[in-house]
Amino acid sequence: MPQSMQLGDSKAAEIKAVSIGKTFGAFHALKNLSLDIGRGEFLTLLGPSGSGKTTFLMILAGFTAPTTGRLMMDGKDITDVPAEDRSYGMVFQGYALFPHLTVEQNIAFPLKVRGRFSAEIKRRVGEMVERVGLVGHERKLPAKLSGGQQQRVALARALVFEPAVLLLDEPFSALDKNLREMMQEEVKRLHQETGTTFVFVTHDQSEALALSSRVAIFNHGELLQVGRPQDVYERPDNRFVAEFLGEVNLLPLDAVKLDGDRAAGQFEDRTIILNKTTRLDGTSAVAAVRPEHMVITTQPATVDSNAITCRVEGATYFGASTKYHLRTSKGTSLAVSMPTAAIAPIAPQTDVWVSWPMNQGFLLPSGS
């Protein structure tokens, strides 16, 4: 890595979106959305297709004006600042490179537009080419590159002018799984090396959890929850967030009582204990437990665990893990995911105990 490479000098920006709304005719694409994006943060906007992620990113970029609300950058109101004056870096899924320009000409383009001297352009482009692993490909046209290489060029072109913010909209969704994982590592490294504020859009929850300092979960134009990956995964605020981030077992509870830092409720013929949550409306709720937090045992659990009896109905082998499908005597179905090596295969119709630590479940409202 050349010593002169000082991308970390770029001034990462802090962004504050305040009560942003966006309507298209009568349709509300974004509803009263407020979000703070920290300086140098890697924030991911995660949600299903049509939830408003791209609309919000376009508002950040300045390509779309919000219908209501304000956008601040480093304390200044930039709501009416046009896109070219915000000068953010951008990488999109189908963001075509200039097909008639070579790799180095594509990367040089933002510097040329900004009227930089040719010696500086040459040096920066050389550094960027090295940084994204394209040495030897400088003179190639985009059509001669693989999909992953093209996205590397797009990343280099978006970062070469040291933007204060980099916006990425599903940049790897067209790549196959292995290549996508390689590019995720690359983006993570570029984020660490540049210190720039990254705002990344994806509908893939594992990509969001793997990359981000924080994840903002969107649904139907609303921001449902924002937090560190482990917070949103282990302490989701509602059922949509819980289920969007991964599989979850839902056990309906009655007679729920809060007791100190714990909650207790009746599931079928047993008392289940969970972490206390403040989100309790009445006395019924749902205990939510991730399949990988449960284990199958032949004995009832220890004092700090919940335990219920179930019958094994089948299993799905995933290589490193195996997912067991089970049912309680009252008919509730459950999934338990365990490392394949952790237990001997269990035959269908076997009666077993399923247990999980009391601090691993979370309460969700029974309605939503």
> Burial level of 55, CB count in 10 A (0-12/13-18/19+)?
buried
Q: Which does 86 bind (CB under 5 to 8 A by kind): ligand ADP, Mg ion, none?
A: none
Q: Which residue's CB is nearer to Mg ion, number 12 or number 17?
A: 17
**Shortest distance in whole angstroms from residue 198 CB to ligand ADP:** 17
Nearest alpha carbon to residue 247 among 218, 287, 290: 290
Cβ closest to Mg ion, residue 171 vs residue 265:
171
Minimal distance, residue 220 CB to Mg ion, in Å:
14
Binding mask 338-357 for Mg ion (x = CB under 5 A): --------------------
**Residue 337 binds Mg ion, judged by CB under 5 A:** no
| Distance separating alpha carbons of residues 205 and 222, to the nearest angstrom | 17
Nearer to ligand ADP, 26 or 143 (CB): 26
Tokens, residue 321: 């893990």
Q: Which is nearer to ligand ADP, 50 or 195 (CB)?
A: 50
Q: Rank residues 14 and 222 by Cβ distance to ligand ADP and give the closer one.
A: 222
Report how many residues bind Mg ion under the rule CB under 5 A. 1
**Which tokens belong to 4?**
């002169």
Q: In the window 213-232, what residues touch Mg ion (CB under 5 A)?
A: none
Phi-psi region of 220 (alpha: psi -120 to 50; beta: other; left: phi over 0): left
DSSP labels, 136-154: T-TT--GGGS-HHHHHHHH
CA nearest to 44, candidates 235, 244, 237: 244
Closest alpha carbon to 253 in 239, 268, 236: 268
Size of the site for ligand ADP (CB under 6 A): 11
Binders in 22-51 for ligand ADP, by CB under 6 A? 24, 27, 29, 47, 49-51
Residue type, 246: G
Compare residues 123 and 220 and give the one whose CB is closer to ligand ADP: 220
**Residue 242 C-beta: closest distance to Mg ion, Å:** 23
Identify the burial level of 215 via C-beta atoms within 10 angstroms of its C-beta, where 0-12 means exposed, 13-18 middle and 19 or more buried.
Answer: buried
Q: In whole angstroms, what is the distance from residue 364 CA to residue 368 CA?
A: 8
Task: Work out how close the CB of 62 gets to ligand ADP at its nearest, in angstroms, rounded to a whole number.
Answer: 15
Nearer to ligand ADP, 65 or 135 (CB): 65
From start to end of 74-219, where are the E strands?
Answer: 76-77, 89-92, 165-169, 197-202, 214-219
Which listed option, ligand ADP, Mg ion, none, makes contact with residue 51 (CB within 5 to 8 Å by class)?
ligand ADP
94 binds ligand ADP (CB under 6 A): no
Task: Give exposure, 26-36, as e/b (b: 16+ Cβ within 10 Å).
Answer: eebbbbebebe
Sign of the torsion angle spanned by Cα atoms 281, 286, 289, 294 = positive
219 binds ligand ADP, rule: CB under 6 A:
no
Residue selected from 35, 37, 43, 52 as contacting ligand ADP according to rule CB under 6 A? 52
CB-based contact 228:217 (threshold 8 Å):
no
299 binds, among ligand ADP, Mg ion, none (CB under 5 to 8 A by kind): none
SS3 category, 48? coil
Judged by CB under 5 A, does residue 55 bind Mg ion?
no
Site for Mg ion in 15-54 (CB under 5 A): 54
Between 3 and 49, name the residue whose CB sits nearer to ligand ADP.
Answer: 49
Residue nearest to Mg ion (CB): 54
Per CB under 6 A, does 202 bind ligand ADP?
no
* Residues in touch with ligand ADP (CB under 6 A): 24, 27, 29, 47, 49-55
